[in-house]
């Protein structure tokens, strides 16, 4: 074999190696493209999920703010009602501590036939005080 044949054979072999290298690189390029497409798809899905989560979070914050406002308003109403009830309780205590009311309770109970001990317990008076009120009423009626 001559030098020219060796050179042609070497060049042919070199072309085959280069062709094989190109085929391998082409296959790797295809795999990389496929992987790149998958990564891009996963990235898009992740961004979609992040956007959805962001919307949910915003709705949650809005709902929380709304509920806080409603609770604040309810607390104000409750406080107002509590003040009204305290005023009514104080007013009722004044009326219940009134001697005229106690006298009326004792006399109406006596007229209904309740025992003096029961009337004394209901009004917080002693038995002597209940007797005195009843006696006063009899003497003023007479």
| 105 vs 29 pLDDT, higher one | 29
Residue 109 lies in a domain: yes
pTM of the model: 0.45
Residue 29 belongs to some domain of the structure: no
Residue 109 has pLDDT above 80, yes or no: yes
85 domain residue, yes or no: no
Other CB atoms within a 10 A radius of the CB of residue 106 amount to: 25
**What's the CA gap between 77 and 39, in Å, rounded?**
56
Is 8 among the domain residues? no
> Does the pLDDT value for residue 97 go beyond 80?
no
Average pLDDT, integer, range 84-95: 87
**What pLDDT, on the 0 to 100 scale, is given for residue 142?**
59
Count of structural domains within the chain: 1
pLDDT at 95 over 80: no
| Residue 38, domain member (yes or no) | no
Residue 45: inside a domain = no
Dist CA 88 CA 101 (whole Å): 17
DSSP 31-88: HHHHHHHHHHHHHHHHHHHHHHHHHHHHHHHHHHHHHHHHHHHHHHHHHHHHHHHHHH
Rounded CA Rg of the chain: 51
pLDDT (tens digit, 9 = 90+) per residue, 24-69?
Answer: 999 999 999 999 999 999 999 999 999 999 999 999 999 999 999 9
Domain around 124: 98-142
List % helix, strand, coil for the chain (3-state, nearest 5).
90, 0, 10
Whether 77 is in a domain gets the answer no
Average pLDDT rounded to a whole number, residues 127-138: 85
141 lies in some domain: yes
Tokens coding 79: 């406080």
């Amino acid at each position: 074999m001559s030098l020219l044949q060796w050179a042609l054979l070497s060049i042919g072999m070199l072309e085959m190696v280069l062709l094989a290298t190109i085929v391998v690189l082409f296959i790797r390029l295809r795999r990389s493209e496929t992987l790149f497409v998958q990564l891009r798809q996963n990235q898009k899905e992740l961004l979609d999920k992040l956007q959805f989560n962001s919307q949910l979070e915003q709705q949650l914050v809005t709902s929380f703010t709304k509920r806080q406002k409603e609770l604040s308003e309810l607390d104000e109403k409750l406080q107002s009602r509590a003040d009204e009830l305290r005023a009514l309780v104080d007013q009722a205590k004044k009326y219940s501590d009134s001697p005229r009311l106690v006298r009326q309770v004792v006399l109406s109970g006596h007229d209904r036939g309740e025992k003096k001990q029961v009337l004394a317990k209901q009004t917080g008076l002693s038995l002597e005080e209940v007797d005195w009120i009843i006696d006063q009423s009899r003497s003023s009626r007479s």
